[in-house]
């Protein structure tokens, strides 16, 4: 079983450790007041946390895959019964988990939902998207092209998704203004 081997947990622990350190940094300093004033309990907060999870996971996963390719450190491919398990699989499982959580309205701001769980779900979604899109070329070509020319498609997919997250996060006031100006004075 791969999950019983200690090196299986290195990637998730690194990603979780970085995200936990960032959360601790914000919650334990003056940044907490700025965060709560600008982001707390809003769609922008969820976009911000998903972006944080996404970009953290992209950096960690790409770093680990480069280390595996160059036989550096304790990193190795995960296999079950002789079959290589791509990190896309873990991304899909996390996407299913976070989607199911949102269906149950876990941490969505509805009465009875837990705020911290909503934040965790948002970061989980970002991490899952990174794990899945990092191997976009695999699911597009239906073969392992990670280190081949076609592997560039994964970078393009990650850049596109990262851009969409950034537009949603930083462009909200602009798009809100456009919406308000186009609907001003209209009656149903």
Q: Is 22 exposed, middle or buried (0-12, 13-18, 19+ CB in 10 A)?
A: middle
Q: Give residue 97's pLDDT.
A: 94
Q: Give residue 28's pLDDT.
A: 84
Cα(138)–Cα(129) distance, rounded to whole angstroms? 14
Q: Give residue 112's pLDDT.
A: 73
Q: Give residue 166's pLDDT.
A: 85
Count CB atoms within 10 A of the CB of residue 107.
Answer: 20
pLDDT in tens, 54-77: 999 999 999 999 999 999 988 888
Q: Are 44 and 172 in contact (CB under 8 A)?
A: yes
Q: Give residue 183's pLDDT.
A: 84
Can you list the residues of the chain whose pLDDT is less than 50?
188
Count CB atoms within 10 A of the CB of residue 47.
Answer: 21
Compute, in degrees rounded to 10, the torsion defined by CA atoms 14, 16, 22, 28: -120
Q: Is 155 exposed, middle or buried (0-12, 13-18, 19+ CB in 10 A)?
A: middle
Q: Give residue 4's pLDDT.
A: 62
Residues in the chain: 188
Cα(122)–Cα(23) distance, rounded to whole angstroms? 13
Q: Give residue 161's pLDDT.
A: 92
Q: Phi, psi (5° rounding) for residue 17?
A: -65, -45
């Amino acid at each position: 079983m791969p999950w019983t081997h200690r090196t299986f947990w290195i990637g998730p622990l690194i990603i979780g450790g970085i995200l936990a350190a960032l959360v601790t940094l914000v919650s334990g300093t003056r940044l907490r007041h700025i965060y709560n004033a600008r982001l707390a309990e809003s769609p922008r907060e969820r976009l911000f946390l998903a972006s944080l999870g996404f970009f953290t996971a992209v950096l960690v996963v790409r770093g680990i895959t480069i280390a595996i390719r160059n036989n550096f450190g304790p990193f190795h491919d995960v296999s079950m019964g002789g079959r290589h398990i791509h990190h896309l699989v873990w991304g899909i499982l996390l996407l299913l988990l976070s989607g199911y959580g949102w269906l149950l309205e876990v941490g969505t701001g509805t009465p009875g939902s837990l705020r911290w769980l909503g934040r965790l779900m948002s970061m989980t979604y970002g991490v899952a998207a990174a794990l899945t899109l990092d191997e976009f070329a695999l699911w597009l070509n239906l073969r392992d092209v990670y280190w081949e020319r076609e592997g560039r498609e994964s970078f393009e997919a990650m850049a596109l998704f990262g851009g969409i997250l950034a537009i949603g996060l930083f462009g909200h006031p602009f798009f809100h203004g456009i919406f308000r100006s186009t609907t001003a004075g209209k009656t149903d």
